[in-house]
Each structure stands twice: as structure tokens, then as C-alpha cells.
Chain A
Amino acid sequence: MQVNMTINGQEADEEIEPRMLLVHFIRDRLGLTGTHWGCDTSNCGTCVVLIDGEPVKSCTTLAAMVSGHDVTTVEGLEVDGVLDPVQEGFMQCHGLQCGFCTPGMMLTARALINKNPDPTDGVIREAISGQICRCTGYATIVRSIHWAADHDAAVSVGSAS
């Protein structure tokens, strides 16, 4: 079947098997390997992308379901050579170690800050609670997201507006 969607501002028009998962479409077909895969059961969140600005687990989404929609992956966070404050925050606050969960965490953070520019610790923890990080123990991720919120210059990459 044919699917057509916008990924990081670019049109993607591809012939696929109907059963193809979005995560495999993004990684194997489009070669955007920043989106990761880490479980079979929608538990880990390493595969999170934004669909029309909302964080979604791309391992549990068929590529076909996203036809006509707007997808942002980690590769779309940096715009014209300028990092998203979320990316900067993760570097500044050591919010990543192996970096495997990081793209998903950052996209969730971006969606959160778009909605809530000044989230509390509790709100941040809740927002990332569908995602697992085995390395950081989360505290530095929480700090990173605060850093991003504090430095967010009305950037709204991936927001639906």
C-alpha cells in the first residue's frame, strides 16, 4: 500500500506492506535511525516520536495509520543548525548516558514543554513515566527538562500549531 506523511518537514511517499510498523518505516525505510526500538510490549518508550505534536510509541503504530499526518523524530529537533533547548538541556545536565532512551525522552519533553512551559518535578516524572531509562536514574533527565523549560525561547518544534 501507499503511505504519505510529513516527517520532519519533508514529504515521505512510500509503498509498504500494510503490516509495517512505524518504527521500522522510520528506521529501515527512511534511514532515520535516531528513533530506537527496545521492547515488544509498548513499555519502554525508546521509540517515541511526535505525531501532530503528541508523543506516540512508534513500535505500536502502523505506518499506514500515520498517512496524512505530521511526524517529528529526534532528527527534526535541531532546526537550521540550532539545537532545541531540550537537546541542549540534556547535554548540560547529563540527562543521557548510553543515549538509547534519549530521543524518546527528548520528544516527550518537547511535547510537555509546548503545553506546560513551567512543569514541576512531579509533572515531568509523570510525563516520562511511560518510558524507561536504565542508565540515568531519571533525576538528571528531570533536571534536563527543567533546564529546557527555563531556556525555551518559544520554540515549538513538532507542535501542531
Chain B
Amino acid sequence: MPLGLTVAGALGCLTICPAPGWAASGGPPVIFPEAVATFAPDQDRLFVNVIYLTGIAFAAVTLALLYFIVRYGTFGNRPRPAAYFHGETRRAKFFTLGLALVVFVGIDLNIDRWSVEVGEVLRDYPDPASDPSVVHVQVLGKQFEWLFRYAGDDGQFGTEDDVRTVGKLVIPRGRRVLADIRAVDVIHSFFIPTFRVKQDAVPGRTTRMWFEATRTSKELRDEHRARTVGVHAVDVSALGLVVDAECRGAGGEPLLARGDEIDSLEVIDALRAAGHEEVVAHRDYVLEIACAELCGFAHFKMRAVLQVEEPEEFERWLRDKSEEARDLYDPEDPQNFFRYWGEEYRAVPVYKRIIEQTGETPWS
């Protein structure tokens, strides 16, 4: 009993006292992607804290298991008699249930508490109607592209000055962005790894997500370039490097020009075959948006680029694009006018059939 109490007490102390932020936010033990959103460090802290808590439990369990194996194992020819007890006494019952409760209170409830805190932040959607600094963007997933739409100069969606982009989301740094997410055909999932958030795009409903970027794409690109420029070994880790010097094959034929990316395992093989053990190169950096929900054969490349600009830069870009859209607007062309992604729906065969039969779009 004293031993049991000590163990339970020690475990209890270890697990109950730490609060969020207990684990250092810097230098997480797992290689997370770059943290670029305001709440990304919170997410990482949550992740690291859960690693610590479950790590304690895992270490305790593994040590006990190893100890029992070594201490009570029958190695060779010296079988020791086993003790005889069923572990169904009051004491045993209190010990196991007690320890289970310690695990629940110490680990689970802590995780739950932190999870609620971070979840509150993730769900703290800004209101573009009351806060003009909020950037409101509509996101549409379709096989196999992400489409984006901004209200344009007039602040209204579904008008001729709407700004539309395909495969590229431009947002300002330091301003909150609210994304309304929809899907045309099948379920997609709007995932920004560097922001630590994803949100499914479900046909038939609108889901929401908000984020605020803390650094611009240019900053990140320059920083990564500075950090990675130099000599790199030519092995699988060289994948994605951009070479800073021309690489020639064994016969003198050019393999890679300056600025080319080592973009496949075959290129690495060719470099090695030509005797290149090392290359002078750097790593380019782009922020990426992924589709995280299986959505069909090209799901793996349903990728979009996230471009974070300084706010002034963003404003200028948005104004230019909006003007461009108004100039190109042709009221006679039905393809150009839509309330909410109408023509994208029409492109999907099954909806095309439905629209033809009933004369209405699914969610106009």
C-alpha cells in the first residue's frame, strides 16, 4: 500500500500541476512545419504538452513492463515459483481504479482543458460586417482545385468586381481572414499545415475558418534561403533543393541549370551517377494549402499556394484585380455572372443533369 500510494502520488503530482505553457514553446521535439499563424504556436504547445503527458505514462508503462520481464522472467533453467493472488482485493481494486483516475484527471482532463482553450481561439470567428479590417474570402473546393473569391472594391460578393483566383490565396499579414468554405462535387478539406488548421469543405453546407498570418511569404522565402544556402549532400534529403550552380553530367551535358529544382528521385540518381556527391543549393519556400480529405484520383495534387503579403501590398493587389475584373465583365456572358459559384456547379456532370432537369442550381 505505501508503495502504491507513493507511485500514485508521484504520478499525480507530475500530471496535475502543469498548466498550459508548462512545456517550452520553443524547440519542440517534433519537426512541425513552420508556424505562421497567430494560433499555430498555441497548437504546437498543445501538441508538445500532450507528448509530455502521454510520454510520462508511456515511460512508466514501458519501464514497468521491462522491469517485470527482467525481474520475473524465466531465462534459461531457473524457473522461480510465481506468487498466487487474484488482485481482486479491495486494495488492488483501489490501486488500479485509483491509478486509472489519476490518469484521467492528470492526463485526460488536462488535455481536455488545453484543447478547449485552443479550440476557443480556433472558433473565435471574426465578423467582417462589424470589423472592416477582416478580410472575407470565399473558398470553393472542386476536383481538383481550390478556387478563391474576394468581394472586390464594392465589398459585395456576387457582383462584377469580384476578384477570383484559382490555386492561389493571397492574404495580408497581421489581419484576420475569415474563409467561408464550400465544395462543389465531393468532400474536400481545406488544410494549411503552417497554420495548423483544416476544415472540411462539404457539398451542401458552408463551413468557416479564420486565421491571421504572422509572416509574409517573402520573409519566409528569404529566411529559408539564408538558412539553407550552401553545400548539400546529394541524397534523398536533397529533394526540393534549388541549385545555385550548374550541374553537368559525366559527359559534360547539362543536367541542371542554375535555379533548377531537384524535383525527383531520378534527378538525384542522375546527379550521383555523374559523380556529384554534393551540390551548391538552397531551399525555396512556399506556403502551401493542401486538400486533406480524399477526393479522387488527383487528390494528392489538389494543392494551392498561399501568398502572404504586407497589408499595403495586399490592398494594392486587390484593387488592381478588382478593376481588372470590372473591365473584363461582360453582362451578356452568363458565365461571368453568378451569385455564388453557380457556373462551377454547372460544370459537374451530375449537377449538370440535375440543373437541366429542374432548371435550378443546387445552392444558388
Q: Do A and B bind each other?
A: no
Q: Measuring CB to CB, which residues of chain B are less than 8 angstroms from any residue of chain A? A: none
Q: Measuring CB to CB, which residues of chain A are less than 8 angstroms from any residue of chain B? A: none
